[in-house]
Each structure stands twice: as structure tokens, then as C-alpha cells.
Amino acid sequence: MAIDQATVRKIASLARIAISDAEAAAMEGELNGILGWVEQLGEVDVTGVEPMTAVIPNQLRLRDDVIDADPLTGGNRRDDVLANAPAAMHGFFGVPKVIE
């Protein structure tokens, strides 16, 4: 799979990353290099092999439905949550007006 500069610009725009034409040109080569390298995996015959998601046997852990059981992953910390907001007002995040 080869990508061109238009694709590079589209991906950058979807990711909200500004890139110059020079950067896009450089990126085209880099990304194609990465994709080509990864594509080597396609040479391996995986017939009959189950896809693997982790190298060690591991199961998704689930939490109990308890509010604020661990302060680190609980709520009631508005000041912390808003601490880095450039414009916090009345307990809200303020952002430039976005309206459809």
C-alpha cells in the first residue's frame, strides 16, 4: 500500500496537525517506508492461527459498579479537572463558541 502526499495531508488534517508542503513530502517517504516494513508481516502464513492480542495470557479486568471507590478514578475533583483549562468559568470549561 503506497500513500501519496494528498493522503498525508488528509490524515494530518483529520488529526488537526498543521504540516507544510516540505513536511508533507518528507512524511510521504517516511510513512511509505513504515508501511512497507510492516507489510512484511503479510509474508507470514497465519492459516489456522488465532489472532493474539497480548503476548502473555491476560484477561480484561472489570471494575465493580461503585462510585468513587478509588479516588484516583473517581469524581468530585472539579478543581483538579479544571486546573489546566485555559478558560474555566462557573465550573465549566469555556471554549470558543461551537454551534451547528
Applying CB under 8 A, which residues contact another protein? 10, 13-14, 16, 53-54, 58-70, 72-78, 80-82, 87, 89-100
CB of 72 to another protein, least distance (A): 7
Task: Round to whole Å and give the CA distance between 5 and 21.
Answer: 9
Helix (H, G, I), strand (E, B) or coil at 29: helix
Whether residue 40 contacts residue 32, with contact meaning beta carbons closer than 8 Å, is answered with no
Nearer to another protein, 46 or 89 (CB): 89
Place of cell 492480542: 53
Nearer to another protein, 25 or 87 (CB): 87
Nearer to another protein, 22 or 41 (CB): 41
Task: Round to whole Å and give the CA distance between 64 and 70.
Answer: 11
CB atoms within 10 A of CB 26: 13
